[in-house]
Amino acid sequence: MDPVDLRIGNTGAGVALAAHALGLRVTVVDVIGDDPPGDVIRAALARTDATTVLRTDDRGTRRSVNLVDPAGRRMSLYDSRPWQGPPPFTADELAALVARATHVHVSIMDWTRDLLPTLRAALPEGVGVSTDLHDWDGRNPYHRPFAEVADLVFVSGVRLGAVAAETATALTPRTVVVTHGADGAALYRPGHPPVRVPAATPPAPVVDSNGAGDAFATGFLAGRLRGDAPETAARYAAEVAAAACAHDGMEYPPGLLPQP
């Protein structure tokens, strides 16, 4: 078996790194350990122009193991330790950060849950919130507060299966994007019929699908922030996700991801 590489790979970092590659200004708010895995994250973010607002987790950096096969497909094993103690950021600190944002993307980390009402209340007028519910099955109550605070929801169709459309409709009035990997995505908007978004062709052979979902979400956000219609943004997001699969890791070289 090949050795396990230690690299940056969590979903928040995936969105931040893709956003950097697409030329967006990014602030990363997160909690990591004072340990070698944390150093890997700090170093990767330092190689970008992202602003970082980090707190230290005394229990160490959460890690996951992604097993990637020769076709670039993956299986992920996650560290499911729950957060313990008060949130690492106060309500006032979070409100001050949100007040300067043009968009807020929230990862479904447990330490953020109690801060979601504060986040929503602190949003400047016209600033939206998005979240990625990942492999939600449509029933697990853990994900519900994140969906409810958001205007835009991304979710994988892997566990939703036949109830994907029903789940997306139940989240009205939010815009919902259900991703289906190599089968593309489906866009659900209030008052509009669902739109199928085909997967794009990668610019090179697929080597690693880790981060493709984060790249898709970031591409969609980049498109919307530049004024694209949702359907146009979704097609662009598919191109970004496909390009991300042609690179091993999520620190994308200049020129790989198509620019908005």
Give domain status of residue 43, yes or no.
Answer: yes
Give domain status of residue 34, yes or no.
Answer: yes
Residue 220 and residue 96: Cα distance in Å, rounded?
26
Task: Enter the pTM of the model.
Answer: 0.92
Instruction: Assess contact for 167 and 160: CB atoms under 8 A.
Output: yes
- The beta-strand segments (E) located in 74-151 are 74-78, 103-106, 128-132
pLDDT per position as a tens digit, 167-180: 999 999 999 999 99
Share the mean pLDDT of the chain.
91
Mean pLDDT throughout 12-19? Answer: 94
Range of the domain at 109: 11-244
Give domain status of residue 2, yes or no.
Answer: no
Give domain status of residue 50, yes or no.
Answer: yes
19 pLDDT exceeds 90? Answer: yes
pLDDT of residue 63: 78
Q: For residue 53, what is the domain's CATH number?
A: 3.40.1190.20
pLDDT per position as a tens digit, 68-124: 777 767 667 666 767 777 889 999 999 999 999 999 999 999 899 999 999 999 999
pLDDT per position as a tens digit, 49-62: 999 999 999 888 88
Give domain status of residue 6, yes or no.
Answer: no
Which residues have CB under 8 Å from 69's CB, separation 6+? none
Give domain status of residue 5, yes or no.
Answer: no
pLDDT per position as a tens digit, 21-53: 999 999 999 999 999 999 999 999 999 999 999
- When divided into structural domains, the chain yields a total of 1
Give domain status of residue 179, yes or no.
Answer: yes
pLDDT of residue 60: 87
pLDDT per position as a tens digit, 200-236: 999 999 988 888 999 999 999 999 999 999 999 999 9
Give domain status of residue 128, yes or no.
Answer: yes
**CA-closest candidate to residue 135, choices 195, 180, 187, 190:** 180
pLDDT of residue 84: 73
